[in-house]
Amino acid sequence: QVRLVESGGGLVQPGGSLRLSCESSASIFGLYTMGWYRQAPGQAPGKEREYLAHITPGGDINYADSVKGRFAISRDAAKNMVYLQMNPLKAEDTAVYYCNANKWDAIYWGQGTQVTVSS
């Protein structure tokens, strides 16, 4: 069992920045692709969370078009941490942000951290 805990969310003004952190309870980066997703407020029940970015065990990185050039994913294997640097933030980035770990036979989610972008 892998436990993921996100932190770093909060209230920020448009144009500002935040860095989200995701701590894993185990050293999994060599096996799992680590990703970030979000779910906007008022989203219809059952609608999938929006994919944002991922980093593979080999270090390959990919971003959704909606955040490319603004968000950056990184990891620190020594600390079992994955990060999402977000800058500049827009009002439409308001959502609950989730960390995800997945491989062919297992998937884990964190509990989420709220990001609110508002003036």
**pLDDT value, residue 45:** 59
For residue 89, the SS3 value is: coil
Q: How far apart are CA 113 and CA 20, in angstroms?
A: 8
pLDDT band at 71 (very low <50, low <70, confident <90, very high): very high
Higher pLDDT, 45 or 118: 118
Q: Per-residue confidence at 46, pLDDT binned at 50, 70, 90?
A: low
